[in-house]
């Protein structure tokens, strides 16, 4: 239940009395706004896309990527304190591609069966420019998931340079108590005529942290080094190209073994925009290479080596034309992604398999008067192939599956006033089974009873859902120049052929199966942001109700979100807005969790109070101070496969400079 700590959070935020929570966005250009989450869409007043954009300053303010994601309505993350990767849960769905996770638009298809969330994305938070989060079906580029997508955007030339500058440096040095240690990032960029180049390097070396009870949580350190290179060119007035490479190398200890993960992402982008209403063509090609190695430990898995190499492309064109009294905005395109998975001593993971996913899509918004009608149609397809021998008793098997389905999405919205836009959305989406689900097989080296079988006949998951909500955008409410933005919605999703791990009674072994019947997930999401310049605040609220079937612990993620999550942020700007003071209160309730015997209720809720401050020392230098878990709360994060506590009170001091 709520505690009286929200009062302390409000005091830390500068006692923002009588004002709705809000976003810090009125700071001067030199100041890094330690604000909150922006509720945005792909275009202004776009009711068809339920999206949130988070920038790097907001990630820093929240205390990290996981914290920022968990403070977004409808979004949570799988939390393994030993695991540096990010496993995103949207509306109760995660793992195995249910949420399409990307780095710079490149699908992260690496999955890992056993002990984990069925899919992590490895990217250095220090190199992020921001995150784009979409809830619900994605019809266009980035679609093919069940419940949404998350794109982790890394730094580019314009993220580093100051406005109007043709060369510059952006750097950040941070130190944290409680094992956080030092974190450094240095980047530089330059523009010469029609060409731009950027490069960055980042390093983090942390130790084990302590929980709120003072006990050290073992094996929570990591040794991360990463970097990137970006090159952009305007070949002619209408033609632009961009090349990028992002490198990630991290050593950590998880699942009883020392591990090294290397993730390299390469992108090539082209845009042709002759500045007419018909053509705005974008072509992207990309390649991702991820390697996981088990480097130390005492078990037989030492030497495990899993590799996932993915390549793909997408092509789309945006048109915006007038058809008499109707304005049409149309996006049409195709995308395709193919990955090869190989492993040596891979345990229950596939030894050799290939997978492909893709889609052909069109999305059209017709605007007439106060009404917007958006119709999307996506033909999604996939194929899986591979072979294996999980045991002598079961024998050899082959996987050779391909299928496609047509998925519609339609949204009707009306601007009933200049500040209110209600909307309703109907959608259908499909999630293809993965190699890790169809080719699961083998014996757990530490438990002979934990044996696993493949299922080459898995069907895709499909969902049919509705969303009803409203957007609010108003100004000059309490004082001239203030602003309020809000989005509230109710969603319901009915899922058929949900894939869950279960015991095969014939073979007395676990495998992934399609669950009979329809599984329903529903909930309420609210995001509201108020800013009056001298003060700001916001609120993010999620209520979830799910009857998802349980996953066998150790094979699939729990999936369930807490029943209720509330994040309140408030702050003030002082000294000609050079000084920002703020606080944040987060409440996480209990909820349903997976257990060895099915689904159980977890009743232990928790609340966390954070405080933050930043000061613009000069036009290009800012110093910030942040305290997370200010009251040293002892808690186990929800949606975790560990019984370990979350970090106790941690103090961060950061200096960021931009010249």
Q: Number of folded domains in the chain?
A: 1
Query: CA 215, CA 639: separation in Å to the nearest integer?
Result: 21
What is the per-residue pLDDT across 148-197, written as a single tens digit (0 to 9) for each? 999 999 999 999 999 999 999 999 999 999 999 999 999 999 999 999 99
Closest by CA to 335, choosing from 102, 88, 94, 156, is 102
What is the per-residue pLDDT across 553-589, written as a single tens digit (0 to 9) for each? 556 556 789 999 999 999 999 999 999 999 999 999 9
Instruction: Output phi, psi for 543, to 5 deg.
Output: -120, 130
Q: Is 11 helix (H, G, I), strand (E, B) or coil?
A: helix
Query: For 651-656, what is the mean pLDDT?
Result: 96
Closest by CA to 10, choosing from 539, 575, 646, is 539
Per the model's pLDDT, the better-predicted residue between 481 and 389 turns out to be 481
Query: For 380-385, what is the mean pLDDT?
Result: 96
Query: For 522-533, what is the mean pLDDT?
Result: 97
| Residue 650 confidence class, pLDDT cut points 50, 70, 90 | very high
Would you say 315 and 282 are in contact if contact means Cβ atoms under 8 Å apart? Answer: yes
Q: How far is CA 644 from CA 3, 211, 314, 653, in A?
A: 23, 8, 42, 26
136 contacts: CB under 8 Å, gap ≥ 6: 50, 91, 147, 148, 425, 427, 465, 467, 491
Q: What is the DSSP string of 143-172?
A: ---SSEEEEEEEP-HHHHSPTT-SEEEEEE
| pLDDT of 390 | 74
Query: For 349-368, what is the mean pLDDT?
Result: 93
Would you say 5 and 585 are in contact if contact means Cβ atoms under 8 Å apart? Answer: yes
Give just the sign of the alpha carbon dihedral 490, 494, 500, 504.
positive
Using the predicted structure, report yes or no on whether residue 28 has a pLDDT greater than 90.
Answer: no
Q: Which residue has the tokens 């942020």?
A: 569
Using the predicted structure, report yes or no on whether residue 24 has a pLDDT greater than 70.
Answer: no
Mean pLDDT computed over every residue of the chain: 88
433 contacts: CB under 8 Å, gap ≥ 6: 96, 384, 401, 458, 459, 460, 461, 499, 512
Query: CA 117, CA 458: separation in Å to the nearest integer?
Result: 19
Using the predicted structure, report yes or no on whether residue 480 has a pLDDT greater than 70.
Answer: yes
Query: CA 65, CA 48: separation in Å to the nearest integer?
Result: 26
| pLDDT of 223 | 97
| pLDDT of 289 | 97
Query: CA 521, CA 491: separation in Å to the nearest integer?
Result: 8
| pLDDT of 557 | 57
What is the per-residue pLDDT across 115-128, written as a single tens digit (0 to 9) for each? 566 788 999 999 99
Per the model's pLDDT, the better-predicted residue between 50 and 632 turns out to be 632
| pLDDT of 227 | 98
Using the predicted structure, report yes or no on whether residue 60 has a pLDDT greater than 90.
Answer: no
What is the per-residue pLDDT across 282-303, written as a single tens digit (0 to 9) for each? 999 999 999 999 999 988 889 9
Using the predicted structure, report yes or no on whether residue 402 has a pLDDT greater than 80.
Answer: yes
Q: Is 62 helix (H, G, I), strand (E, B) or coil?
A: helix
> Two tokens at 623?
């110093």
* Structure letter (DSSP) for residue 69: H
Query: For 591-608, what is the mean pLDDT?
Result: 79
Q: Which residue has the tokens 């605040």?
A: 537
Per the model's pLDDT, the better-predicted residue between 42 and 203 turns out to be 203
CATH number for position 573: 2.40.170.20
463 contacts: CB under 8 Å, gap ≥ 6: 137, 146, 147, 427, 428, 429, 431, 493, 494, 495, 496
* Structure letter (DSSP) for residue 9: H
Using the predicted structure, report yes or no on whether residue 14 has a pLDDT greater than 60.
Answer: no
Q: Count of CB atoms within 10 A of residue 327's CB?
A: 14
Range of the domain at 104: 5-658
Query: For 298-326, what is the mean pLDDT?
Result: 94
| pLDDT of 597 | 64
Using the predicted structure, report yes or no on whether residue 17 has a pLDDT greater than 60.
Answer: no
Query: For 512-517, what is the mean pLDDT?
Result: 92
Using the predicted structure, report yes or no on whether residue 354 has a pLDDT greater than 80.
Answer: yes
Closest by CA to 461, choosing from 425, 436, 493, 489, is 493
Query: CA 325, CA 57: separation in Å to the nearest integer?
Result: 42
> Two tokens at 228?
């990137």
What is the per-residue pLDDT across 454-471, written as a single tens digit (0 to 9) for each? 898 999 999 999 999 999
| pLDDT of 642 | 72
């Amino acid at each position: 239940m709520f505690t009286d700590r929200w009062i302390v959070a409000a005091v830390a935020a500068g006692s923002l009395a009588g004002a709705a929570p809000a976003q810090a966005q009125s700071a001067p250009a030199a100041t890094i706004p330690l604000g909150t989450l922006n509720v945005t869409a792909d275009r202004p007043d776009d009711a068809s896309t339920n999206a949130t954009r988070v920038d790097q300053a907001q990630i820093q303010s929240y205390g990290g990527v996981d914290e920022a994601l968990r403070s977004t309505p409808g979004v949570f993350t799988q939390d393994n304190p030993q695991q540096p990767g990010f496993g995103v849960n949207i509306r109760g769905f995660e793992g195995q591609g249910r949420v399409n996770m990307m780095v710079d638009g490149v699908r992260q298809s690496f999955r890992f069966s056993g002990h984990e969330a069925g899919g992590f994305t490895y990217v250095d938070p220090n190199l992020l420019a921001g995150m784009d989060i979409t809830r619900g079906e994605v019809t266009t580029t980035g679609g093919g998931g069940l419940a949404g997508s998350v794109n982790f955007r890394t730094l580019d030339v314009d993220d580093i340079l100051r406005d109007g500058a043709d060369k510059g440096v952006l750097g950040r040095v941070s130190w944290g108590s409680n094992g956080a240690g030092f974190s450094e990032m240095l980047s530089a960029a330059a523009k010469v005529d029609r060409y731009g180049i950027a490069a960055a390097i980042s390093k983090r070396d942390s130790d084990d942290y302590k929980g709120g009870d003072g006990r050290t949580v073992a094996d929570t350190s990591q040794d991360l080094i990463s970097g990137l290179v970006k090159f952009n060119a305007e070949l002619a007035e209408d033609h632009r190209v961009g090349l990028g490479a992002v490198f990630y190398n991290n050593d950590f200890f998880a699942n009883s073994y020392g591990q090294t993960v290397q993730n390299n992402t390469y992108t090539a982008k082209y845009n042709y925009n002759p500045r007419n209403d018909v053509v705005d063509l974008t072509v992207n090609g990309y390649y991702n290479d991820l390697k996981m190695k088990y480097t130390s430990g005492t078990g037989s898995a030492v030497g495990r080596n899993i590799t996932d190499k993915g390549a793909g492309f997408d092509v789309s064109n945006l048109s915006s034309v007038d058809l008499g009294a109707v304005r049409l905005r149309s996006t049409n395109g195709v995308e395709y992604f193919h990955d090869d998975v190989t492993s040596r001593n891979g345990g229950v993971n596939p030894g050799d398999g290939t997978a492909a996913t893709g889609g052909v899509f069109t999305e059209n918004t017709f605007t007439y008067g106060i009404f917007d009608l958006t119709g999307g149609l996506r033909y999604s397809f996939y194929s899986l192939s591979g072979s294996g021998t999980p045991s002598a008793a079961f024998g050899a098997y082959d996987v050779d599956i391909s299928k496609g389905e047509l998925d519609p999405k339609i949204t009707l919205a009306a601007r009933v006033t200049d500040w209110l836009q209600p909307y309703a959305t109907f959608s259908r989406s499909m999630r293809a089974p993965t190699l890790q689900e169809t080719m699961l097989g083998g014996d757990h080296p530490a438990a002979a009873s934990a044996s696993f079988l493949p299922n080459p006949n898995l069907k895709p998951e499909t969902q049919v859902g509705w969303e009803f909500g409203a957007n609010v955008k108003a100004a000059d409410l309490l004082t001239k120049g203030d602003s309020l933005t809000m989005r509230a919605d109710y969603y319901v999703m009915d899922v058929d052929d949900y894939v869950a791990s279960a015991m095969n009674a014939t073979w007395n072994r676990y495998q992934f199966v399609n669950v009979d019947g329809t599984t329903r997930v529903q909930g309420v999401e609210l995001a509201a942001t108020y800013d009056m310049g001298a003060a700001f605040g916001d609120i993010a609220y999620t209520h979830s109700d799910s009857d998802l079937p349980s996953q066998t612990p150790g094979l699939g993620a729990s999936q369930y979100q807490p029943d209720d999550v509330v994040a309140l942020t408030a702050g003030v700007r002082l000294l000609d807005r050079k000084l920002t003071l703020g606080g944040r209160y987060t409440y996480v309730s209990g909820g349903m969790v997976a257990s060895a015997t099915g689904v159980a209720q977890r009743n232990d809720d928790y609340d966390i109070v954070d405080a933050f401050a930043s000061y613009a020392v000069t036009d290009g230098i800012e110093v910030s101070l942040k305290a997370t878990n200010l009251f040293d709360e002892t808690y186990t994060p929800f949606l975790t496969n560990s019984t370990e506590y979350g970090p106790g009170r941690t103090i961060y001091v950061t200096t960021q400079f931009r010249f």
